[in-house]
Chains A and B, each alone.
Chain A
Amino acid sequence: MIVLKNITKSYTTDFLRKKQKAVNDISLDIQQGEIFGIIGANGAGKSTIIKMIMGFIRPDEGEVFIENKNPVDPQSRLNMGYLPENPYFYNNLTVLELLRFSTAASGVPKSLAEERIASLLKTVDLYSARKQRLKTYSKGMVQRAGICFSLVHDPKIVVLDEPMSGLDPLGRKMVIDLVLDLKARGKTILFCSHILNDVERICDRVAIMDKGHLKRMFSKNDLGAETMEEIFLNTIQEN
Chain B
Amino acid sequence: MLAKILSLSVLTFREGVRDRAIIGIGLFAAVMMSVTLVVISLFMRELSKVAVDINLSAFSLSGLLLTFFLSITLMAKDIDKKTIYCVMSKPLSRSQYIWGKYCGILFIILTAFAVLTVFSSLTIALAKLQYANWFTSFSWMEYYKAVYALFLMFAVLNAMVIFFSSITTSSFITLLFSICTYIAGQTIEEVVIFLKSGAGQAAHISEPISRMLDIIQYVLPNLSVFDLKVQASHAIFISWNYIAWISLYACIYSTILLIAASMIFSKRELA
Contact = CB atoms under 8 A, between A and B. Distances in A.
Given A87-B86, A105-B7, A75 B91 contact: yes
A88 to B, nearest CB: 5
Interface residues of A, number: 35
Contact of B14 (A80, A81, A92, A105): A92
B270 A57 contact: yes
Greatest chain A CB density within 10 A among B83, B85, B92 is at B85
A72 B83 CA distance: 19
A51 B269 CA distance: 10
A109 to B, nearest CB: 12
Contacts of B3: 104, 107
B90 A106 contact: yes
A132 to B, nearest CB: 13
A224 interface: no
B271 A74 contact: no
B128 interface: no
A89 to B, nearest CB: 6
Contact of A55 (B82, B88, B271): B88
Contacts of A88: 81-83, 86
A80 B271 contact: no
Interface in A221-239: none
Interface string B68-103: 000000000000011101101111110010000000
A11 interface: yes
27 contacts: A11-B271, A54-B85, A54-B88, A56-B270, A56-B271, A74-B91, A77-B90, A77-B91, A78-B91, A80-B89, A84-B89, A91-B15, A92-B15, A92-B18, A92-B19, A97-B11, A101-B7, A101-B10, A101-B90, A104-B3, A104-B4, A105-B90, A105-B91, A105-B92, A107-B3, A146-B86, A149-B86
Interface of A: 11, 51, 54-58, 74-78, 80-82, 84, 87-93, 97-98, 101-102, 104-107, 133, 146, 149-150
Given A89-B83, A97-B11, 5 more contacts: A57-B271, A82-B86, A87-B86, A92-B18, A104-B3
B8 interface: yes
Interface residues of B, number: 25
B269 A57 contact: yes
Contact of A104 (B7, B96, B270, B271): B7
Given A82-B85, A104-B3, A97 B271 contact: no
Contacts of B90: 77, 101-102, 105-106
A146 B18 CA distance: 21
A71 B97 CA distance: 16
Contact of A84 (B11, B15, B85): B85
User: 3 smallest A-B Cβ distances: which pairs?
Assistant: A82-B89, A92-B18, A105-B90
Nearest to B10: A101
A93 B14 contact: yes
A74 B93 contact: yes
A223 B16 CA distance: 51
B63 to A, nearest CB: 21
A56 B84 CA distance: 10
Contacts of A150: 89
A56 B91 contact: no
Interface in B1-24: 3-4, 7-8, 10-11, 14-15, 18-19
Given A74-B93, A133-B18, A56 B85 contact: yes
A97 B17 CA distance: 14
Contacts of A91: 15
A191 to B, nearest CB: 16
A159 B85 CA distance: 12
A231 B156 CA distance: 59
Contact of A97 (B14, B81, B96): B14
Given A57-B271, A84-B85, A104-B3, A74 B92 contact: yes
B186 to A, nearest CB: 32
Nearest to B84: A56
Contacts of B18: 92-93, 133
Contacts of A93: 11, 14-15, 18
Contacts of A107: 3, 91
